[in-house]
Homo-oligomer: A and B are copies of this chain.
Amino acid sequence: MTPGSDDPAPRRRGRPSRGERAAGPDTRTRILEAARTEFAERGYDRTSVRGIAKAAEVDAALVHHYFGTKDEVFAAAVELSFEPALVIPSILEGPRQDLGERLARFFFGVWENPVTRAPVLAVLRSALTHEAAAKVLRGFVLRRLLERIAADLDVPDPTLRAELAASHMIGIAVLRYVVGAEPLASADPEKIIEMVAPTLQRYLTE
C-alpha cells in the first residue's frame, strides 16, 4: 500500500528512517500489534520481520531497531497481552480458597477475548513446532508467570503444581479454541470454570 513497504529493508543513513509514517510511541505498539496478528495467523515459521513491517506500514529496519531479531519481536508481542506485573498480583490477592477460580477466570478472560487470544494462540502453535518459540514459552510463561505464582504457594513442589494447573488450561485451550472439540468448544465458560476451578485449587493449595 504505502510506497516503499515492499522494499527489501534498505538501511538508509545507518539508522532506521522514520519511514512513511512518523515513528513514536504509537509505532512500537503498532509493530507489536502487527506482529501479534502475523504470528497468530501465519504461525512462527511463515512470519517474517519484513511481513510484520509491511503489516505495520513501517520500514523493516524500524522493527529491528525497536525489537531486534524475529524471536525478540515474538517475545515482546506475546508479553504485551499478559502484563504479568499487573496480572499476577490480581490473581494472588483475595481469599486463598478462591485462587483456582480466579486463575480459571483469568485464563478464560484471555482466551474468550479475540484480541488477547491471538497472541497466546500464536505462542501455542509456534511452541509446538519451533524450538525458538518453545524457548519463549519456557522463558516467559513459565519463568515469569508460573514461578511467580509458585513463589506465593504454600505447598510442596509449588512450581510442578503450578505447571500442572497451567497444563490443564493449555489443554483446554487446545481442545476448545484450536481443535474445536464438542461439547467443550461450545460450552458456557461459566460452566467450565465451575468444573475446572476445583482442580486448579487442589493443585495450588492442597
Contacts and interface: CB of A to CB of B under 8 A. Distances in A.
A171 B175 CA distance: 10
Interface of A: 43, 124-125, 127-129, 134, 137-138, 142, 157, 159-161, 163-164, 166-172, 174-176, 178-184, 187, 192, 195-196, 198-199, 202-203
Nearest to A170: B171
Nearest to A187: B160
Given A128-B174, A168-B199, A199-B203, 11 more contacts: A43-B129, A127-B174, A129-B129, A134-B180, A138-B180, A138-B181, A159-B182, A164-B195, A166-B171, A168-B168, A195-B203
A43 to B, nearest CB: 6
A131 B202 CA distance: 35
Nearest to A183: B160
A206 B182 CA distance: 21
A202 B199 CA distance: 9
A133 to B, nearest CB: 9
Sorted nearest first, the 7 A-B pairs with minimum C-beta distance are A171-B171, A167-B171, A170-B171, A163-B184, A167-B172, A168-B168, A167-B175
A103 to B, nearest CB: 14
A167 B177 CA distance: 12
A127 B172 contact: no
A139 to B, nearest CB: 10
A151 to B, nearest CB: 14
